[in-house]
Amino acid sequence: MAQRSKATFQKREREKEKQQKQRDKEARRTEAKKAKAEREPFNGNEDPDIAGIKPGPQPLPDQWQWAARRDGK
């Protein structure tokens, strides 16, 4: 009797991985749609990406504060 080849088994394993990846991707898409639906709608007054930023020089982030102190000596 002939036995199944190793290539067939490997192909089936790859197909299973591909199907699992597609299920995971669909779950991420569903979650993203749900999160988008729950998010507050954009009211058009202010861009949320730049909310709270004022014109002119911005204060240094905390990780850069040591450089400002060293230069200010």
Note the pLDDT of residue 1.
58
Structure tokens at 23: 């299920």
pLDDT of residue 72: 53
Task: Give the pLDDT score at 15.
Answer: 97
Q: Is 31 left (phi over 0), alpha (psi -120 to 50) or beta?
A: alpha
Taking only the tens place, the pLDDT of each residue in 20-46 is 999 999 999 999 999 988 887 767 777
CA dihedral 58, 59, 65, 69 (to 10 degrees): 100
pTM of the full structure: 0.48
